[in-house]
Amino acid sequence: MINKENRIQTTKNECRTCFWAPLTRTPNQVLKGIGRSFIIDISGLKILIETNITLTQAHRDIIYAIFIFNYKRSFTKSGDFRALFSISSIYNALNRRYSKETIIEKLKELFITKFFASPVDDKKIFTPFQYVNEFKPSNIKINDDRLDRLNIEKYYYLIEISRTYFEFQNYDLKILIDDEIVKKIIKLESAILKDLIYYTLSHNVLNKDLQAILYEKSILTQTTTKQRKSAILKEIINRKDILVSEFKIEIKKMESGRYGVFHL
């Protein structure tokens, strides 16, 4: 449990030790360009989502790692996810795939990421990733064997991920906090496979057209070239054995001759 009385109160302008200050790019600079746009379907309502920063595979790997490789996690009353972690814990969790400097840079970008949702004419802005606070080891109380390891780091960071992010991604939060599943997923190199697995497990997919899922997840779009489309399908089909053995997801041809996704 966090000792609230000893919290270090910080803001973006005041913080001197926070790993994300100063930002390498100001929000105004970033907002000049849209990183990505996609359409999601929530209960039959088509919603256009735009982001000011494209969330790369590195961003997503870090988000997933925070879910399971943390020292304490909890949910707020509104359903947002909070986690206490260190840079080293994420660095080691991802098998040193990214340098600590890269992890810090990607976290900086997450904290200035905004989602713009346009359900009708009105555009709403969401900030899914919030920096909450930083703590010294002496201000953290954890009643298990992880306490001894806290002294390794000088500072630990508490962040909050909005439930809106998971709604936009169309993921079931129960899957993301399943340590065993997430550990298997983040070992995969393919971002496409990761998205497909999260989607399939979140929705208990049965007999759904593979391409329909890829379009729904904006992995395929109307502007995707035939060559790129073939490469994406090949990437998935070539890994169908691991999908079955590790995640009980089967890719096979349906009566229509197209590939379908089945959660066994």
231 Cβ contact partners less than 8 Å away, ≥ 6 residues apart: none
Q: Are 58 and 106 a contacting pair, CB within 8 Å?
A: yes
Q: What is the pLDDT of residue 207?
A: 76
Would you place residue 263 in the very low, low, confident or very high pLDDT band (cuts 50, 70, 90)? Answer: confident
pLDDT at residue 24 in the model: 33
> Does 140 or 4 have the greater pLDDT score?
140
Domain segments of the chain: what residues? 4-171, 188-263
Using 50, 70 and 90 to split pLDDT, how confident is the model at 37?
low
Query: pLDDT for 91-107, tens place per residue?
Result: 888 888 899 899 989 99
Contact by Cβ (8 Å): 249, 200: yes
* List of residues 6+ apart from 263 with CB closer than 8 A: 200, 201, 204, 205, 206, 248, 249, 250
Band the pLDDT of 227: cuts 50, 70, 90. Answer: very high
Q: What type of residue sits at position 154?
A: K
pLDDT band at 44 (very low <50, low <70, confident <90, very high): low
pLDDT of residue 111: 87
Q: Which range, 32-41, 135-144, 146-155, 178-187, is most confident? A: 178-187
Mean pLDDT of 48-52: 74
Handedness of CA 176, 180, 183, 187 (dihedral sign): negative
DSSP state of 187: T
Range 109-118 average pLDDT: 82
Q: What is the mean pLDDT of the chain?
A: 73
Is it the case that residue 12 has pLDDT exceeding 70? Answer: no
Classify 221 as helix, strand or coil. Answer: coil
Alpha-carbon distances, residue 79 vs 35, 65, 76, 119, 174 (angstroms): 27, 19, 5, 22, 12
Mean pLDDT on 165-172:
72
Q: pLDDT (tens digit, 9 = 90+) per residue, 228-250?
A: 999 999 999 999 999 999 999 99
